[in-house]
Amino acid sequence: MIPSMKPPEITVLSLGGTISSTGEGGVKPTLTGEDLVSDIPEIADVAEVEASSFRQSPSGELTLDDLIELAGEIEDSFDSGSSGAVITQGTDTIEETSFVLDLLVNRDEPIIVTGAMRNPTLPGADGPANLLAAVEVASSESARGLGTVVVFNDEIHAARFVRKTHTQSPATFRSEAAGPIGGISEGNVRIAARPVGRRNIRPSRGGEDRPVALFTAALGDDGRMLPELPRLGYVGLVVEAMGGGHVPEAMVGRLEKLAETMPVVLASRTGSGDVLEKTYGFPGSEMDLLGRGLVPAGMLDGLKARLLLSLLLRSGAGEDEIRDAFRNPYPI
Ligand code: ASP
């Protein structure tokens, strides 16, 4: 920053998680957004930060309604002059929350999601370094237009690719499809690649919940729980199939029946690579399932496909729009 320049205004919203967890007998989220920021004096050299606590919970407690409200709060902060937003939260669901925020907020100001793998009571706690790096990225002109990104372990990951890959490692976040899109070195933000295309979805605030189930196909299972889904209130399903998009033959009739009444999306349980569409022809193969009305998830894994389908259903999308969104999730 040139000394005479006014530092950028950055909003920090804390949601809880390991980064804010302290105490004895098992840590719990206790530190507020203000506590997290005031622990890192270096932040004042980078930005003028306005911190607050949006939620105080483990990240598995967050819901789509919370994220829709959070997206509104982020947009309000941008309207009031903030040039970037940092969300601190539990790492367990960062690959989901960042993906949803990326779809909900269509602004050039960067949105950075971060957290910690080692809580503040442990030697080598990574929260302060991650939060400082997140504020640096949020303050950087070069991060404008990237959408929502995850900053962790000095790497920058696009929300559309990132996944949590390890239970404890500070290097848990990986982007199998593309690698990190940038990094932070001695406070300098380097963007190496920019994600192509953008999708914006506007679900109605306070709209009806449209529950989507996520089901993983497994060796020897016939999917006997599947016919129960409509009775349980589910209005959509994402199947994490084996390999390129395969299930045991015993599951096929059940999936076909569901696809007659609700969108059923075919993803892969492998965690990376597009689901196949025209390679295998055996019963239970991707060609068999797609011929029976399932929708290919394209590049999206099961967790992200479930969220895209949930948001599309909440915004009133019909079958054509749903198929189109999975075929081309990020139009240019
Ligand atoms: N292990 C989690 C974390 O990293 C707990 C959570 O997601 O809240 O914060």
Which tokens sit at 282? 């055996």
Pocket flag, ligand 1, residue 58 (CB < 6 Å): yes
Which ligand 1 atom minimizes the distance to the CA of 19?
9
Looking at residue 256, what is its pLDDT? Answer: 98
Which tokens sit at 103? 């779809």
* Torsion angle in degrees (nearest 10) through CA of 287, 240, 99, 19: -160
* Every domain of the chain and the residues it spans: 9-191, 212-327
Q: What is the per-residue pLDDT across 263-309, written as a single tens digit (0 to 9) for each?
A: 999 999 999 999 999 999 999 999 999 999 999 999 999 999 999 99
Bridge partners (DSSP) of residue 190 are 183
| 63 included as an active-site residue | no
Residue with tokens 């996520």: 214
> What amino acid is encoded at 73 in this protein?
E
Looking at residue 208, what is its pLDDT? Answer: 81
Whether residue 1 is predicted with pLDDT greater than 70 in this model: the reply is no
Same topology, domains 9-191 and 212-327? Answer is yes
Using CA atoms, how far apart are residues 223 and 206, in angstroms rounded to an integer?
33
CA of 90 to the centre of ligand 1 (A): 4
Q: What is the per-residue pLDDT across 228-267, written as a single tens digit (0 to 9) for each?
A: 999 999 999 999 999 999 999 999 999 999 999 999 999 9
Angstrom CA distances, 134 to 183, 185, 188, stand at: 11, 12, 12
Looking at residue 261, what is its pLDDT? Answer: 97
DSSP assignment of 76-140: HHHHTT-SEEEEE--GGGHHHHHHHHHHH---SS-EEEE--SS-TTSTT--HHHHHHHHHHHHT-
How buried is residue 186: exposed, middle or buried, by Cβ count under 10 Å (0-12/13-18/19+)?
A: exposed
Looking at residue 6, what is its pLDDT? Answer: 86
Q: Which CATH number fits domain 212-327: 3.40.225.10, 3.40.50.40, 3.60.70.12, 3.10.180.10?
A: 3.40.50.40
Mean pLDDT over each residue of the chain, to the nearest integer: 96
Looking at residue 2, what is its pLDDT? Answer: 54
Looking at residue 213, what is its pLDDT? Answer: 98
Using CA atoms, how far apart are residues 62 and 50, in angstroms rounded to an integer?
22
CA of 89 to the centre of ligand 1 (A): 7
Q: What is the per-residue pLDDT across 46-87, written as a single tens digit (0 to 9) for each?
A: 999 999 999 999 999 999 999 999 999 999 999 999 999 999
The CB-side HSE value for 255 (13 A sphere, CA atoms) comes to 34
- Element (H or E) spanning 222, and its range? none
pLDDT, average across residues 167-172:
98
The dihedral built from the CA positions of residue 255, 103, 206 and 74, taken in this order, carries a sign that is: positive
Pocket flag, ligand 1, residue 119 (CB < 6 Å): no
Pocket flag, ligand 1, residue 91 (CB < 6 Å): yes
Looking at residue 206, what is its pLDDT? Answer: 62
Looking at residue 5, what is its pLDDT? Answer: 75
CA of 96 to the centre of ligand 1 (A): 13
Q: What is the per-residue pLDDT across 96-138, written as a single tens digit (0 to 9) for each?
A: 999 999 999 999 999 999 999 999 999 999 999 999 999 999 9
DSSP assignment of 130-177: HHHHHHHHHT-GGGTT--EEEEETTEEEETTT-EE--SS-TT-EE-TT
Looking at residue 209, what is its pLDDT? Answer: 86
Whether residue 140 is predicted with pLDDT greater than 70 in this model: the reply is yes
Take atom 7 of ligand 1 and give the residue whose Cα is closest: 90
Tell me which residue of 132, 118, 123 sits closest to 172, measured CA to CA. 118
Pocket flag, ligand 1, residue 170 (CB < 6 Å): no
CATH class of 9-191: alpha beta
Choice from 63, 92, 98 to test ligand 1 binding pocket (greatest atom count within 8 A of CB): 92
Q: Assess contact for 82 and 88: CB atoms under 8 A.
A: no
Looking at residue 227, what is its pLDDT? Answer: 98
pLDDT, average across residues 169-198:
97
Q: How do strand 264-268 and strand 295-296 relate by DSSP bridges?
A: parallel
Choice from 28, 55, 63, 91 to test ligand 1 binding pocket (greatest atom count within 8 A of CB): 91
Active-site annotation holder among 11, 18, 93, 97: 18
Residues sharing a CB contact under 8 Å with residue 247, sequence separation 6 or more, in sequence order: 217, 223, 239, 241, 255, 284, 289
